[in-house]
Amino acid sequence: MADTARSRKSPTAGRPAFLARSFNASRGTAIKTLSISLLATACVAALSLWFSSAAVLPEMLAETAISPTRQALLTSGVQVGFVLGALLFSVLGLPDRIHPARLFAACAAAAALVNASLLIAPVGGNAAIAARVATGALLAGVYPVGMKIAVGWGTRDRGFLVGLLVGALTLGSASPHLVALAGGADWRVTVTVTSLAGLAAALLALGVRLGPYHAQAARFDIRAVTRAWTDRRIRLAYAGYLGHMWELYAVWSWAGAAMAASFALRMAPQDALPLARIATFVAVAAGGIACVAAGWVADRIGKAQVAILALAVSGSCAIAAALTFGGPVWVVVPVFVLWGFSVIPDSAQFSALVADFAPPEEAGSLMTLQTALGFALTFVTVQAAPLVAGAAGWPLMLALLALGPAFGLVAMVRLRRMAES
C-alpha cells in the first residue's frame, strides 16, 4: 500500500521554486489579513462591554436613585476589575503560556454573560457593581491578549498592527454611546446588544491564527515581569503610558457629562444630553481612526515620535477644553473631537515599544502588566473626575488632565534621545 502521507501533494509541488515561494507568501499574507481582521472585529465587539453601563447611566438614574459614589463605581469598577485581572494574568504569565486566541474567546464569552447579569441585578446595587468588576477582570484576557496575537504577526509593521487593534478597542468603547442613543429610554436594550456582541467576539476569536513571530513561554517565570524595572527602555515606555492613561479614560468616561454641562449653559438640558452623546461618540470614534493612521506613520518615523506628537496635542486639548467650557457649541465640539482624536493613538505605540524591547516569549506578560498599571491609575482619575468637577467645576477638572500628557512627554523625549544616541 502506498504511503498515504507521501501520496498527498503540497499546493506548490511540481512548480518552479520562485513560484512556490510566491504562492506561500501570498497564502501567508491572506492568512495574516484574515486573522488580523477577525481579531480587530472581535475587539470592537468585546470592548463594547466596557462602557455598557456608563453609556446608559442617565436612563438608570431616571428609573432608580443611585448615589454619586455608586454611579462612579459602575464605571470605575470595570477599571478595578481589569487591573486585578491583568495583574493576575501577567504574574502567572497566562498570555505567554496559553493559546492566546482561545484565552481571548473564553474571556470574551464569560464577560458577555456577566454583563448580561445587569438585566436581573438591582440597578446600582452591590451585585451590579460586582458584575462590572468581574467584566473588567475578564476583559484583561481580551485586550492585552489581543495585542500579544497582533505583535506575533509582524515586526516591521508592528506599529500599524497594534494601532489597528487599539483602534478597534476605541471603536468598541465608543459603540455603547451609539447603541444607547438608538435604544432610547430603555437601557436594557443597550446591555442586551453589548452582551450579544461579546458572545460574537468569542466566536470570531476562535477563527484567529497565530503569526510566525508568536513565541510561547515554556514555563512560568516570575522574572519576566521584573524586566519592566531592569530595562530602562521598557521603564520609560511604561512611564509614557502612565502619563497617557492619566487622561484617557477620564476623557472617555466623562467627556459626555462635561459637554452636556457645557451645552446646558446655552440650551435646554433635554437637548444638551443627546447632542453630548453624539459628540462623545464622534470624539471617541475619531480616536479609533487615528490609531490606524498613527500606526502606519509610526512604522516610518518612529513609535516614540508619534507618541510625542499625540501627547503634545492631547495635553493642549485638555487646556483648550477648560478654556472653552460653556462657550458656543461650534467651538466646544471641535475641541473635544480633536481631543478624542489625539488622546488614544499613542496607546498602541507604548505597547508596541514594549513588544520591541522585550523577548518575544515575555511580551504578552509585560504588555499585560503595562496595562494593569495604567488602568490602576485610571481608577483614580475616573473616580475623582466627577468629585473634582462638583467641587471646583468642570474647567478645572479638564485642565488637570493635562498633567498626564506633560509627564508622558518628558519620558518619551528621553526614550527618543536614548534611541538616537
83: CATH: 1.20.1250.20
* DSSP-assigned states of every residue in 194-239: HHHHHHHHHHHHTTPPPPTT----SS--THHHHHHHH-HHHHHHHH
pLDDT at residue number 188: 85
Whether pLDDT at 392 is above 90: yes
Domain residues for the domain of 110 are 36-210+220-420
CB neighbours (10 Å) of residue 232? 12
Q: Give the tens place of pLDDT for each residue, 9-20.
A: 444 445 555 444
Q: Give the tens place of pLDDT for each residue, 196-238.
A: 999 999 999 999 998 887 776 545 456 667 777 888 999 999 9
Three-state secondary-structure class, residue 169: helix
Where is mean pLDDT largest: 15-29, 138-152, 307-321, 335-349? Answer: 307-321
By CB atoms closer than 10 A (0-12, 13-18, 19+), residue 16 is exposed
Contact present, 251 and 343 (Cβ < 8 Å): yes
* Integer CA distances (angstroms), 4 to 7, 15, 329, 389, in order: 5, 21, 72, 73
Q: How does residue 372 score in pLDDT terms, banded at 50, 70 and 90?
A: confident
Integer Cα distance of 52 and 173 in angstroms? 9
Residue at 16 is within a domain: no
Residue at 15 is within a domain: no
Residue at 392 is within a domain: yes
Instruction: Report the residue count for the chain.
Output: 421
59, containing H or E segment: helix 57-63
- Round the average pLDDT of the chain to a whole number and report it: 85
Residue at 364 is within a domain: yes
Residue 275 in grid coordinates? 447632542
Q: Give the tens place of pLDDT for each residue, 89-136.
A: 877 777 777 888 999 999 999 999 999 999 898 888 889 999 999 999
Whether pLDDT at 25 is above 50: yes
- How many domains is the chain built from? 1
Contact present, 221 and 406 (Cβ < 8 Å): no
Residue at 56 is within a domain: yes
Q: Give the tens place of pLDDT for each residue, 266-295.
A: 888 778 888 998 898 888 888 888 888 898
Closest residue by Cα to residue 211 from 157, 167, 292, 144 = 157
Radius of gyration of the chain (CA): 22
Residue 66 in grid coordinates? 443611585
Whether pLDDT at 177 is above 50: yes
Whether pLDDT at 57 is above 90: no
Please tell me the least confidently modeled range out of 37-51, 84-98, 185-199, 381-395: 84-98
Contact present, 356 and 364 (Cβ < 8 Å): no
225: which residues sit within 8 A by CB, 6+ positions away? 90, 91, 365, 366, 369
User: Degrees (nearest 5) of the Cα angle 179, 161, 317?
Assistant: 60
Residue at 14 is within a domain: no
Residue at 8 is within a domain: no
CB neighbours (10 Å) of residue 146? 30
Higher pLDDT, 188 or 93: 188
Residue at 29 is within a domain: no
Q: Is 235 left (phi over 0), alpha (psi -120 to 50) or beta?
A: alpha
Q: What is the DSSP letter of 72?
A: H
Residue with grid cell 478654556, as numbered in its chain:
323
Output the pTM of the full model.
Answer: 0.76
pLDDT at residue number 10: 44
pLDDT at residue number 217: 57
pLDDT at residue number 52: 79
Mean pLDDT of 344-364: 86
Residue with grid cell 518615523, as numbered in its chain:
301
CB neighbours (10 Å) of residue 64? 10
pLDDT at residue number 174: 72
